Amino acid sequence: MSETRTAAELDQEAAVRRVLEDFYRDGKPPWDSGITPPELVVLIEGPGALRPGRVLELGCGTGTNAVYLARHGWQVTAVDLVDRAVRQAREKADAAEADVTVLCGDATRLDEVGVPGPYDLFFDLSCYCGIPPHRRDAYAANLTKRAAPDARLLMFGYGPGAFDDLWSGVTADELSARFAGWHLAEVTPGTNLVPTFWFTLRHTAAA
């Protein structure tokens, strides 16, 4: 069944897509540094590291972290909304001879993308915090539907007020309220000049 969206919601979604496309066209997406963040490295390689399994990266950009995960034994699926980013991610994976499936699609409409799951890990480097509020419940429901028992979600997000709009950003209270069947296990402030956070959620509901 098709969803009904207001004109304002459609405009908001289109504006987000244009901003993302502009960043990649100009070659300067601020979230795509080409360096895997240490918070992900600790989860994958540090004390108590997760056992490799299936991982879905939301908003994968040019594929830096997807390639990193594949090199450490994970079965990787990565999704991004922007065609240019997806092409670059596929090229990066091919050059690294990394087994990564990169798909172009909307993280809030995963049924249309073809990623059935279940996944043991979800990784989100500033994807969710840029999703318009009316699509965030769908994002959470999509991940929950595809979460293996005790799955983890590692999310980096900007805090409210980091951008020149009234809705971007994310808080711990919002995630706790929106992600039914998940436990917000850890919140760590980021090191950016504007407020940022790393959130770790664990899936607690039975599969």
**Mind spelling out the 3-state secondary structure of the chain?**
CCCCCCHHHHHHHHHHHHHHHHHHHHCCCCCCCCCCCHHHHHHHHCCCCCCCCEEEEECCCCCHHHHHHHHCCCEEEEEECCHHHHHHHHHHHHHCCCCEEEEECCCCCHHHCCCCCCEEEEEEECCHHHCCHHHHHHHHHHHHHCEEEEEEEEEEEECCCCCCCCCCCCCHHHHHHHCCCEEEEEEEECCCCCCEEEEEEEECCCC
What fold characterizes domain 37-61+107-156+168-203? Rossmann fold (3.40.50)
pLDDT tens profile 155-186: 999 998 777 776 788 999 999 999 999 999 99
Q: Give residue limits of the domains in the chain.
A: 37-61+107-156+168-203
pLDDT tens, 74-128?
999 999 999 899 999 999 999 999 999 999 999 999 999 999 999 999 999 999 9
